[in-house]
Structure 1
């Protein structure tokens, strides 16, 4: 006689309550939401115990929260099922120093790593009916400081040194764009699972053949069993083909593992956006008892692709390439760095992640780098990247510090890496794991021991012990659990140190940080893959009004706005780049916002064009991609983000969007002497005025990021800036544009220092504009602008039409009042005579009033 078997059940805990731990007579406070995840800052804000730390100077007034200990409790119902022999509490993540009690009798878990996942057997410990889980969260600040006393101090840049010992999201300690808000709480879902036998992990590892005509799919699974079972594996192709196999798993061990292999002919492949469709197979694994009754099953959507990180020799240049190839197609990566989307991660929703990926795609970006000072992101982000074809560069969670590697630390990191790689490995959008962010740069800065000829694999006795993590432990985890994804020891990494532009990736911060080069020299700063670069810009005025409540504090140098600008030396550096480039007639807030956003846009736009120019075809992939620092913010702040915390797009968003389009144009103005240089000229003391006459030249090129050769009509016109008169038409007619590379169109075209150049790419069939770009004499502060450019804006339902009688730089249009829900598909445009610039604006009505600002409109 056999008991009737019921499938495994799962209950997600919710309905949390909280209180400060260790305070006499402290009452429990019920969370004002019923979400399964929460954290102390959002709960304190909801209960009006603290003010919103994002507003005004409130960050200063809530620091006590991170110094305190807190506890959470949650009740849940359990009814025994005689067919279920085991019950587990499964923890997706606890932030960070947590002790878990069940029914205030059993301590069932201690965790000190935010990135660990836990499965705790609570069989026999649950009561019929009501049960309670209670979690005590000790201050991570105090915990880290105790570890620092025990194991020594390790240098950290951004945040206090003790953070290097604590496996918590590092940005919580404060960064040069983020606040110091040390939160804690049940940040990951907690589930009660009841079962007889269950699957705990399923991985479909698809290996596509070099010719793309076949794929070998190894489906591996881990299970906890109380009996022998059969695992039925079914893979259903998008075209309806079904592939099936089965395996027998025995219950002799606590955790059983098995696998099956399936061969698929002519697989339908997943491609990144712009290179092909995003296609998925359904992988279904079910474990059955001997009566063929299903006990548990797991289903996954799996994209199959052949992935390579290509680092081969290059024609005519030193070093090697660094680019990604998907299904034998080289992919130029034009994207951004992603930091956590909120200081309080449980405030993020699936819609927030979907919107973020949508904004990335609308900016013509195809890659996000998940930065190492944040977290291994929520499933929702990776799912959306998979679904929409956005590639993901995933850092391990280390950033800007000299990390330790004593045995306990190494053990927790190895488990963290295994937990997270196993969690993430099914996402086909992930194309790289990198060991850390900038920790080898820190080693260089601190002159730590880094002998590149020492390949022993164990550097724990040196003053750079974390090298053992990055070059031994982490690559071993990736090789074991995600063998199809390349591993890169760090970002940046490669060649002769972290600044070698000929090998690996670089973080190009010699604009803004470092030597503070002029952004007009960005074409001399390109590397094989530029995984970070940026320029700071203020957020939108409407955003500032949301977090600066006192109108008297709404000026650029106010105490509140300085608190919401964490960049060290930002006033000097931003002042340098604005004042050496722009004529500034006023320092009122609106003018300063416009000035900083224009500089940010001009810098990033030229950087993107300069990098894409170096993608020249097979054997000439001199730059394989560029990732802007950064696309988003975690709180309201003046930062390098191109979209501010409230979702308002800065000028740089639109300017780089156009430069990253599949078909785009680029222009570079230089002198013959400067053009010959491969790097910026030395910064030497020079006379106050350089009286030597200069001969300026322009190059024009086209970027075809599509997979088809194209032809386009290319128009090039030179305009007098002071009068708007067309000086010369240099149009070159129909030009062939080879696919997936840059084509040089015009070289060494003579211009002077009062001429603006406009280039237009038109479709040869109907003449519609495909792309525009322009180049202006630099610095902009020296140019003489037309005093009456004749700008006109026609407001229509759903769009704008902009005209001008003379060249106009950086025209930004907004609806008045600016709280109207209108989304501009383009903005921050350069407008030229004889060219109507049309901007689609969803939600715009023809009776709406608009405000127009452009460079020089306040002169």
Structure 2
């Protein structure tokens, strides 16, 4: 089979009132019925909104309240068209396939109706052999009806009836901006008389743990079906499948030839001696083997060929340590190694998801990998993502938790049993299972998000909807875990009741001092698959979608614009209570991000201290599909990392040191006792820890040293920091932990406590004696392979007070930027070397302008360093 991508053709789109393009002419007057637009250039894959923006018909919907003026778009009908030339070679059968239509479509070729289609996640494929043989070119038309009126976040789950992404209709991190268009590739498939249909690859490992040399064998199992494509040939010919495997270096390591059975199926098992095993990020490498499957006739003619990249690994699941008998197996085991989940929840990358580029996917997966993350949950209110995303996760060791497309709605959360919904859900599930199961990163299937049979009680597979999905997973992908929903219960939300908190969600707010630390520090859940803390976006991003009149700190209640960009995530009152009143947007942003980072860091460390009693944490959320003033995300819509990303990255590190505590405020003269922990993936690592207690001038008030050897699969308490708060202390108290081991040395982001009598962090806003000096040690080194530009800086605090939360920022706006270390603290006289890596932006749709705004095409990155709270004071550029 040959596949020709048609996305680059000259596509056009035109808008109409409903039914007008079907009627064409007025019944009364006989004249042509005009459209609501003329024919416009169309992006495929893409969506109507960006095409309308490019034509000057709508304003940028991401700015201010502009999206409210775009809601008419979802209520019109849209007609796409292009011309497809007959290929030089056509084969026995020609198939026109749309991998993603959004949402309800009728497809025509030369005004002949090929068929109608409903649903986003299973392709629409049509036989155009006769038409293509008759005509040298075909005019392809796709008529998309107006978007269905589906439930938003607030509604009745039991009444859902589509497989359309529901976050489009308004969610807490998005607005109502309902995509419509051709959101994935359009292809022409040229088939020979027979072609390869569905292929199922799975892997296993035999001999792990054996003391015998060369005893480990990798197993790759292949199941495939063969489809007859020539309707004129009644006789089946003898067919064979030739299956061969190459290692990551391209060497042939295994092959097998099997005869295709009478029913058109074949199975093969390849044995790979001493394989390079695939591990999640942080536990090993991600070597990928190439598996080629060729369909051959008895005369030796190759009729079809498929190529896959897969990893070899053994996948198992087990209940947690001391887990109740009725709990599900939440611990993932790969190659006999228990994997502690350090994950993030991912929403769609854009409201208008057809415009997302491969580079945007690459950037998000890079941030996961660099952020020490090993799992991503693809949330059920969003998408089955495009194939590129799964390939990137395979290559970077990011395990995937894939949910089917259904989610809670608040008024009721009962899985829908409407017949039309179940039919569409089954089509989506079958399509997703048949394709995504071949990705080694795929680890968990889930029935959907927060589905509940009754309040606070997650649904289980006794529900007919979820029972169907469980049966489909057993049919298509029996080796992987199916969870009925997330959270999977037996209660939905985090609770103080230690008897029933298995897999839980919540909360999504900083729970205030000291309640936040009591709740999470003393909790005993088995798995924390969704929770978060909200914080403002960076000022650089806020200026991109808030016009000048809307750039002052304000509550969501007091501003319609701010409410439109993050109503649920108002942090003004919270941050005023912790820092005192703030009048500057930049200071407000920095304070809000500090609280988000502090709140998340504590939850992650508290969970990790119970390693394998708790099997892991999945932060809500990595990203956002539209620009919010405030949100629970780690990375904003424009690809800018927030402070919480870097504090999460450190809490997820393979080797990490943490301190347990229960409040942020301290009293002069108070005796403080804090346990210190070492977290490591591996046993037998000798770790030396130095704990220091300092004031904001850098004076050392107390120090202690600890040493320990890490143990298998658990956090290790290495000692207790025991000291007395000085009676004359005012302002901030800083506790930092440094560590050294044979793996290297490092330092945690400090823990900040306060002796202030009013707002806990009030004195932090008064620190004015920090002074950063920056020297560029290495001119930006540009990689021709990745396009990455890496620079090395030395940052020194030559001032008299601590420089808090030191971080770099890229000024040209032409690059995505990440670093090994951001938002760290430098005491007076201290210095640190910082590596900064920049990648040229290449976002799609409404991010296209952001990719080039303020930046010449070949301009180098421009880096400055800032510290808290002096955001508006640009520190001296590197010399």
TM-score range, shorter chain: 0.7 to 0.9
Q: Return the alpha-carbon distance in structure 2 between the equivalents of residues 783 and 79 of structure 1.
A: 69
Instruction: Quote how far apart the aligned CAs of 1:744 are.
Output: 0.7
User: Which residue number corresponds to residue 171 of structure 1?
Assistant: 167
Q: For 1:558-707, list aligned pairs within 5 A.
A: 559=559, 561-568=561-568, 570-571=569-570, 574-580=571-577, 582-615=578-611, 621-637=612-628, 638-670=630-662, 695-705=671-681, 707=682
1:482 aligned onto 2:477? yes
Whether the aligned pair in 2 keeps the contact of 1:93 and 1:115 (CA below 8 Å) is yes
Whether the aligned pair in 2 keeps the contact of 1:530 and 1:626 (CA below 8 Å) is yes
After superposition, the Cα gap between the structure-2 partners of 1:597 and 1:266, relative to the gap in structure 1 and judged at 3 Å, is same
After superposition, the Cα gap between the structure-2 partners of 1:495 and 1:28, relative to the gap in structure 1 and judged at 3 Å, is closer
Match of 1:267 among 275, 287, 295: 275
Whether the aligned pair in 2 keeps the contact of 1:438 and 1:491 (CA below 8 Å) is yes
Whether the aligned pair in 1 keeps the contact of 2:16 and 2:37 (CA below 8 Å) is no
**Unmatched 5+ stretches in structure 2:** 21-32, 210-215, 231-235, 777-791, 839-858, 874-879
User: Which residue number corresponds to residue 180 of structure 2?
Assistant: 184
User: Which residue number corresponds to residue 738 of structure 1?
Assistant: 711
Match of 2:701 among 722, 727, 749: 727
Q: Return the alpha-carbon distance in structure 2 between the equivalents of residues 157 and 529 of structure 1.
A: 24
Whether the aligned pair in 1 keeps the contact of 2:674 and 2:721 (CA below 8 Å) is yes
Match of 1:230 among 240, 243, 263: 240
Q: Return the alpha-carbon distance in structure 2 between the equivalents of residues 809 and 743 of structure 1.
A: 31
User: Which residue number corresponds to residue 775 of structure 2?
Assistant: 796
After superposition, the Cα gap between the structure-2 partners of 1:660 and 1:124, relative to the gap in structure 1 and judged at 3 Å, is same
Instruction: Quote how far apart the aligned CAs of 1:626 are.
Output: 0.9
Tell me the SS of whatever aligns to 1:204.
strand
Q: For 1:474-553, list aligned pairs within 5 A.
A: 474-495=469-490, 499=494, 504-509=502-507, 511-512=509-510, 517-518=515-516, 521-525=519-523, 527-551=525-549, 553=551
Whether the aligned pair in 2 keeps the contact of 1:816 and 1:851 (CA below 8 Å) is no
Q: Return the alpha-carbon distance in structure 1 between the equivalents of residues 389 and 684 of structure 2.
A: 33
Instruction: Quote how far apart the aligned CAs of 1:813 are.
Output: 3.9
Instruction: Quote how far apart the aligned CAs of 1:426 are.
Output: 0.8
User: Which residue number corresponds to residue 128 of structure 2?
Assistant: 122
Instruction: Quote how far apart the aligned CAs of 1:303 are.
Output: 0.8
Whether the aligned pair in 2 keeps the contact of 1:613 and 1:742 (CA below 8 Å) is yes
Instruction: Quote how far apart the aligned CAs of 1:777 are.
Output: 2.3
Instruction: Quote how far apart the aligned CAs of 1:649 are.
Output: 1.4
Whether the aligned pair in 2 keeps the contact of 1:756 and 1:807 (CA below 8 Å) is no
1:752 aligned onto 2:728? no
Instruction: Quote how far apart the aligned CAs of 1:577 are.
Output: 2.8
Q: Return the alpha-carbon distance in structure 1 between the equivalents of residues 13 and 248 of structure 2.
A: 47
User: Which residue number corresponds to residue 867 of structure 2?
Assistant: 852
After superposition, the Cα gap between the structure-2 partners of 1:205 and 1:851, relative to the gap in structure 1 and judged at 3 Å, is closer
Whether the aligned pair in 1 keeps the contact of 2:109 and 2:140 (CA below 8 Å) is yes
- State which drifts further: 524-533 or 128-137: 524-533
User: Which residue number corresponds to residue 25 of structure 1?
Assistant: 34
Whether the aligned pair in 2 keeps the contact of 1:8 and 1:197 (CA below 8 Å) is no
After superposition, the Cα gap between the structure-2 partners of 1:268 and 1:815, relative to the gap in structure 1 and judged at 3 Å, is closer
Tell me the SS of whatever aligns to 1:607.
helix
Q: For 1:327-338, list aligned pairs within 5 A.
A: 327-338=335-346
Tell me the SS of whatever aligns to 2:389.
helix
After superposition, the Cα gap between the structure-2 partners of 1:9 and 1:824, relative to the gap in structure 1 and judged at 3 Å, is closer
Whether the aligned pair in 1 keeps the contact of 2:167 and 2:381 (CA below 8 Å) is yes
- State which drifts further: 173-182 or 358-367: 358-367
Whether the aligned pair in 1 keeps the contact of 2:48 and 2:181 (CA below 8 Å) is yes
Instruction: Quote how far apart the aligned CAs of 1:554 are.
Output: 4.7
Instruction: Quote how far apart the aligned CAs of 1:793 are.
Output: 1.7
Residue deviations 1:733-758, cap 9 Å, x none? x4323355322122362443857353
Instruction: Quote how far apart the aligned CAs of 1:394 are.
Output: 1.1
Instruction: Quote how far apart the aligned CAs of 1:854 are.
Output: 3.5
After superposition, the Cα gap between the structure-2 partners of 1:690 and 1:284, relative to the gap in structure 1 and judged at 3 Å, is closer
Q: Return the alpha-carbon distance in structure 2 between the equivalents of residues 191 and 291 of structure 1.
A: 30
Instruction: Quote how far apart the aligned CAs of 1:265 are.
Output: 3.7
Match of 1:62 among 66, 70, 77: 70
Q: Return the alpha-carbon distance in structure 1 between the equivalents of residues 200 and 96 of structure 2.
A: 22
Instruction: Quote how far apart the aligned CAs of 1:625 are.
Output: 1.1
Residue deviations 1:612-662, cap 9 Å, x none? 1111xxxxx121111111111111112111111111111111222222222
Match of 1:194 among 168, 187, 190: 190
User: Which residue number corresponds to residue 303 of structure 1?
Assistant: 311
Q: Return the alpha-carbon distance in structure 2 between the equivalents of residues 205 and 551 of structure 1.
A: 57
Residue deviations 1:123-160, cap 9 Å, x none? 32333211022121112235x5xxxxxxxxxx863468
The size of the alignment, in residue pairs, is 789
Q: Return the alpha-carbon distance in structure 1 between the equivalents of residues 148 and 523 of structure 2.
A: 39
Residue deviations 1:349-385, cap 9 Å, x none? 1111111111112222121111111101111111111
After superposition, the Cα gap between the structure-2 partners of 1:281 and 1:848, relative to the gap in structure 1 and judged at 3 Å, is closer
User: Which residue number corresponds to residue 683 of structure 1?
Assistant: none
Instruction: Quote how far apart the aligned CAs of 1:40 are.
Output: 1.0
Instruction: Quote how far apart the aligned CAs of 1:491 are.
Output: 0.5
Instruction: Quote how far apart the aligned CAs of 1:497 are.
Output: 5.5
Match of 1:423 among 435, 452, 455: 435
Match of 1:101 among 105, 108, 126: 108
Residue deviations 1:74-127, cap 9 Å, x none? 210125757x3222222212111111122112x222222111223322332333
Whether the aligned pair in 1 keeps the contact of 2:692 and 2:703 (CA below 8 Å) is yes
Cα RMSD after superposing both structures: 3.6
Q: Return the alpha-carbon distance in structure 2 between the equivalents of residues 53 and 537 of structure 1.
A: 23
Q: Return the alpha-carbon distance in structure 1 between the equivalents of residues 514 and 121 of structure 2.
A: 37
Q: Return the alpha-carbon distance in structure 1 between the equivalents of residues 351 and 299 of structure 2.
A: 51
After superposition, the Cα gap between the structure-2 partners of 1:170 and 1:779, relative to the gap in structure 1 and judged at 3 Å, is farther
After superposition, the Cα gap between the structure-2 partners of 1:778 and 1:380, relative to the gap in structure 1 and judged at 3 Å, is farther
- State which drifts further: 394-403 or 427-436: 394-403
What TM-score does the superposition give when structure 1 sets the normalisation length? 0.84
Tell me the SS of whatever aligns to 2:426.
helix
Instruction: Quote how far apart the aligned CAs of 1:320 are.
Output: 7.4
User: Which residue number corresponds to residue 410 of structure 1?
Assistant: 422
After superposition, the Cα gap between the structure-2 partners of 1:400 and 1:752, relative to the gap in structure 1 and judged at 3 Å, is farther
Q: For 1:814-829, list aligned pairs within 5 A.
A: 814=808, 819=813, 824-829=819-824
Instruction: Quote how far apart the aligned CAs of 1:433 are.
Output: 0.6
Instruction: Quote how far apart the aligned CAs of 1:850 are.
Output: 4.4
Q: Return the alpha-carbon distance in structure 2 between the equivalents of residues 216 and 553 of structure 1.
A: 59
Q: Return the alpha-carbon distance in structure 2 between the equivalents of residues 29 and 356 of structure 1.
A: 37
After superposition, the Cα gap between the structure-2 partners of 1:321 and 1:79, relative to the gap in structure 1 and judged at 3 Å, is closer
After superposition, the Cα gap between the structure-2 partners of 1:299 and 1:604, relative to the gap in structure 1 and judged at 3 Å, is same
Tell me the SS of whatever aligns to 1:606.
helix
Q: Return the alpha-carbon distance in structure 2 between the equivalents of residues 236 and 122 of structure 1.
A: 36
Tell me the SS of whatever aligns to 1:54.
coil
Whether the aligned pair in 1 keeps the contact of 2:240 and 2:258 (CA below 8 Å) is yes
1:443 aligned onto 2:454? yes
Tell me the SS of whatever aligns to 1:770.
strand
Instruction: Quote how far apart the aligned CAs of 1:319 are.
Output: 6.2
- State which drifts further: 845-854 or 122-131: 845-854
After superposition, the Cα gap between the structure-2 partners of 1:507 and 1:293, relative to the gap in structure 1 and judged at 3 Å, is same
Q: Return the alpha-carbon distance in structure 2 between the equivalents of residues 537 and 584 of structure 1.
A: 17
- State which drifts further: 690-699 or 424-433: 690-699
